[in-house]
Structure 1
């Protein structure tokens, strides 16, 4: 792999990781999805960084649970459902086109159903 390509993967990995860390502290910003992108990109540009993320005591368990079984912790499901519900309320109030309102609401409900049907990690409470 060329140096430029490897550096691009590393840049994507570090940017995604930084957003994931910020998301751990900012309520409306998700962290796990950014961490999954970080591990994916790091696997291509810096396998050592990917291993470090997977073994990190705070961020690693959610990433490993997703990679191993597509599992989402219960607290993450609740947070996602709350944010999706808030999004539906905001779009119902702010969007004036009925067909767009309906389409976006159906899409967000579909995402919510998908999230709820994912398994939970074995150690999740």
Structure 2
């Protein structure tokens, strides 16, 4: 792999990790999806960083569960469902174009259904 390509993957990993950290503190900002992207890109640029994220006590279990089983922990499912419901409520009250409101709400509902139907990690 070229050095430029490795640096691009490393930059994606760093930005994704930073956004995932923001998601820990900002309620509507996701964490796990950014950590998954960080691990994916770090695997291609910095295996040491990827190992560190996978072994991190806060981020690691969800990342490892997704990579190994395509599973989402129950608490993460309920949190995601609650945030999606709140987002749908905000959209219902704020978007004026009916077709856009419906498309967005149906899209979020389908995303929520997909998340809730994922398996939970084996213990």
TM-score interval (norm. to shorter):
over 0.9
Q: Which residue of the partner structure matches residue 23 of structure 2?
A: 23
Q: TM-score, length-normalised on structure 2?
A: 0.94
Aligned partners of 1:55 and 1:83: how far apart in 2?
A: 27
Aligned partners of 1:24 and 1:97: how far apart in 2?
A: 32
CA RMSD of aligned residues (A): 1.1
Residue 27 of structure 1, CA deviation: 2.0
Q: Which residue of the partner structure matches residue 98 of structure 1?
A: 98
Which consecutive unaligned segments of at least 5 residues does structure 1 have?
none
Q: Which residue of the partner structure matches residue 56 of structure 1?
A: 56
Which consecutive unaligned segments of at least 5 residues does structure 2 have?
none
Aligned residues: 123
Q: Secondary structure at the match of 2:25?
A: coil
Aligned partners of 2:85 and 2:60: how far apart in 1?
A: 27
